[in-house]
Amino acid sequence: MATGGYLGADNQLIRVRIAGSKAAPMVLWGYDNASFLYPVTSVSPDGTTLTLAYDPPDALHVPQAKQVVEILQTAAVLATEPNETDPGGPQPLLRVVAEQNGSLRKLAQTYGPATPGSTGNAIVLATALPMSVAQSPLPLFLRVWQAELPLTVGAATELTDPVTGTSTGVTVTITSAGALADGAYWLIAVRPATPQGAYPESLLKTPQPPDGPRRWACPLAVIDWGTGIVADCRSIFDNLVTLTARKPGCCTVSIGPQDVTATASLQILIDQAVSKAQTVTVCLSPGTYSLPSPLRLTRQHDGLTLEACGGPALLRADPNVAASQFVDGLVVLTGANAVTLRGLTLHVPYATTAFEQGLPGSYMGFGVHARSAKKLTLQDCVIEFPEFAASQLAILAVEYLFAAAVYLQGDCGGLTVCGCKFSSAIAPTYTAIPIQRDNSALATMQTKSVVMERLVRQPSASSAQAPPSPQPAPAGLTEAVERFETTFQPASPPPTRAAVFADRAAASRDILAATRSAAPAVTFLWPRRPPHNPRSLQRRAWSHSTCPSRQGAPTSTRPSRRKWSPVCWEMQRSAARNSRT
């Protein structure tokens, strides 16, 4: 700020902008954020007189002589529609966007009649516009600035008003104009109540980057310059009324191999389809669909039907993608319920992960991998395991492959598989284990019963009867029982309950002797109530010469009251629990 500060009479938001080339930059500034933009309805043949669609709102905003105006051309036409204000007019109404920077001109006179006796008001320029601008068939716009001043990099530039010839009291210093593009601007708020202040206050402390123009980039389309094919990347949103009306119903979406692009994968197309209704059927046209990653179906895909229409639809891993991407499988369902896969052909990829390389079973391949996916239906599908690539044959000779056409984890109740074919180009290299179907469920339960009787059933301490002999094993299970008994042979003879207590008491006595150097007696704590405060840690202790048992507790003596620290208290309680166990 200059000495004395802001000299204006009212609050203002001043826009300061760099204009011109980097060799000879200029500074544009204007009041009211230079936000007054007027449509131009006509331009004189010589390009000096412009007619505006409407007049300025008041006398304070009327463009004055020596002010600077900027004529902006149309940058893009967004839409064309009939002009409702003039239905019979020859010109339709255009929805356009003005360009960011335009042609700068000074005013030769104040806004008003162009010549004496004229009835309309006009903008008269001191310099004519280029013919390409003056004769443009698209709409033109006019922005009003206050002044255009020369810029000296690193030096203070005082914002002066050419209309009044006075200073605003505001100075700006731009330190790197050569690196800033034409159109970079700053917004400075000033108030006469605080003339030495400027907002944001950071402008008074350190140099600040421009406030604009701000640019956001998003993918709109992918153009193949060789074929001229344009792939639209925009996501089209339906209005809420249409979306709400469509939601309770069902719909069918058709997808072909030509619809799948680098930016619109099959995963994205299916995700867009399921957002249209509660029950969606996606029909895949005949062809090959290369997946860059597993096709993942989650809860948002509940009720989805994915089927081949008109011919085989082959799903496979993209050969240009690392196989490790498919360690979960080709089609992965996580919590997706009531999903139907019909008529699809799946080529199972063989994947491996870095931490499993060189270990047995490192190669895995799953056609459909379901995790807690209820009511999954596979109908008329073909799941094929292709041969290994030539570069992988040597690895396969020393490693293993774990593969499954349908791999289930968690709660996958209601699975239906009908009319499907599973084929493998790799011969199995494992040794098959025959299973006798007649000894499956019943024999297993009988084996468990026999083994548990032999291991658990012990003679009672108070009973003098001999233990009953175990029941004979069922036919066909004698070998299994013998292997189990050989592996888990119980102690002979089995220890009595008293011997178990004595062993536990000796262990507890050793712990206490090692930690507290106590007498060779087991100490038990029997608190009358849980400790609520430090004083409750003072408890009575009784020393017993032997461990209590169910046959009767030994005689006890009560020693004097002792004080126990929290550490000792916990130690004694732990010892007591171990002893009672």
Q: What is the pLDDT of residue 497?
A: 59
How far, in Å, are 158, 264, 312, 470 from residue 291 at the CA level? 62, 11, 16, 61
* Cβ atoms of residues 41 and 53 within 8 Å: yes
For residue 143, what is the DSSP state?
E
Task: Identify the band that residue 458 occupies on the pLDDT scale cut at 50, 70 and 90.
Answer: very low
Nearest to 61 by CA among 85, 37, 90, 43: 37
Query: Burial letters for 208-237: b for 16+ Cβ neighbours within 10 Å, e otherwise?
Result: eebeeeeeeeeeeeeeeeeeeeeeeeeeee
Query: Which two structure tokens, joined as six digits, stand for 310?
Result: 């008109």
> Residue 323: is its pLDDT beyond 90?
no
Mean pLDDT for the stretch of residues 401-414: 87
Nearest to 271 by CA among 289, 292, 295, 291: 295
Nearest to 366 by CA among 379, 349, 382, 378: 349
Query: Burial letters for 91-103: b for 16+ Cβ neighbours within 10 Å, e otherwise?
Result: eeeeebebeebbb
Q: What is the pLDDT of residue 514?
A: 56
* Cβ atoms of residues 376 and 333 within 8 Å: yes
Window from 351-360, 366-375, 506-515 with minimum mean pLDDT: 351-360
For 196: left if phi > 0, alpha if psi spans -120 to 50, otherwise beta; the answer is alpha
- 202 vs 575, residue with greater confidence: 202
Mean pLDDT taken over the chain: 76
How many residues make up the chain in this entry?
581
Q: What is the pLDDT of residue 172?
A: 93
How far, in Å, are 84, 461, 506 from residue 550 at the CA level? 102, 11, 18
Question: Highest mean pLDDT range out of 205-214, 376-385, 531-540?
Answer: 376-385
* Cβ atoms of residues 124 and 108 within 8 Å: yes
Nearest to 146 by CA among 210, 224, 61, 75: 61
* Residue 544 three-state SS: strand
**Rounded distance, CA 449 to CA 385, Å?**
42
Task: Identify the band that residue 531 occupies on the pLDDT scale cut at 50, 70 and 90.
Answer: very low
**Rounded distance, CA 336 to CA 305, Å?**
12
**Rounded distance, CA 544 to CA 579, Å?**
12
* Residue 206 three-state SS: coil
Cα angle 257, 403, 375 (rounded to 5 degrees) comes to: 70
* Residue 339 three-state SS: coil
Query: What's the pLDDT tens digit per position in 49-93?
Result: 999 999 999 999 999 999 999 999 999 999 888 777 766 666 778
> Residue 273: is its pLDDT beyond 60?
yes
Q: HEC profile for 453-508?
A: HHHHCCCCCCCCCCCCCCCCCCCCCHHHHHHHHHHCCCCCCCCCHHHHHHHHHHHH
* Cβ atoms of residues 140 and 71 within 8 Å: yes
> Residue 397: is its pLDDT beyond 70?
no
The one-letter amino acid at 509:
R
Mean pLDDT for the stretch of residues 325-341: 92
Question: Highest mean pLDDT range out of 187-196, 247-256, 462-471?
Answer: 187-196
* Residue 210 three-state SS: coil
* Cβ atoms of residues 394 and 384 within 8 Å: no
Query: Burial letters for 421-449: b for 16+ Cβ neighbours within 10 Å, e otherwise?
Result: ebeeeeeeeeeeeeeeeebeeebeebbee
Q: What is the pLDDT of residue 118?
A: 86
Q: How many CA atoms lie within 13 A of 64 on its CB side?
A: 13
> Residue 424: is its pLDDT beyond 80?
yes
Cα angle 534, 540, 542 (rounded to 5 degrees) comes to: 145
Query: Which two structure tokens, joined as six digits, stand for 162?
Result: 């050419």
> Residue 493: is its pLDDT beyond 80?
no
* Cβ atoms of residues 98 and 74 within 8 Å: yes
Q: What is the pLDDT of residue 126?
A: 95
**Rounded distance, CA 513 to CA 356, Å?**
50
The CA-to-CA distance between both ends of the chain, in Å, stands at 86
Helices then strands, each counted (H, E), the chain:
8, 35
Q: What is the pTM of this model?
A: 0.43
**Rounded distance, CA 165 to CA 4, Å?**
17
> Residue 235: is its pLDDT beyond 80?
no
Query: Which two structure tokens, joined as six digits, stand for 10?
Result: 């009212």
Q: What is the pLDDT of residue 238?
A: 63
What distance lies between CA 239 and its chain's CA centroid?
25
Mean pLDDT for the stretch of residues 380-403: 70
Helix (H) or strand (E) holding 242: helix 240-246
Mean pLDDT for the stretch of residues 394-402: 58
Helix (H) or strand (E) holding 512: helix 497-516
From edge to edge, which strands make up the β-sheet containing 363-371? Answer: 295-297, 331-334, 363-371, 401-409
**Rounded distance, CA 393 to CA 429, Å?**
14
Beta-strand relationship, 26-30 and 12-19: antiparallel
> Residue 133: is its pLDDT beyond 90?
yes
For residue 24, what is the DSSP state?
S
Phi, psi dihedrals of residue 163, rounded to the nearest 5°: -70, -45
Q: What is the pLDDT of residue 61?
A: 93
Close Cβ partners of 46 (under 8 Å, ≥ 6 residues apart):
128
Close Cβ partners of 391 (under 8 Å, ≥ 6 residues apart):
none
**Rounded distance, CA 97 to CA 73, Å?**
9
For 94: left if phi > 0, alpha if psi spans -120 to 50, otherwise beta; the answer is beta
Query: Which two structure tokens, joined as six digits, stand for 446?
Result: 């009988």
DSSP state string for 80-114: EE--TT-TT-SSPEEEEEE-SS-EEEEBSS-SEES
> Residue 13: is its pLDDT beyond 50?
yes
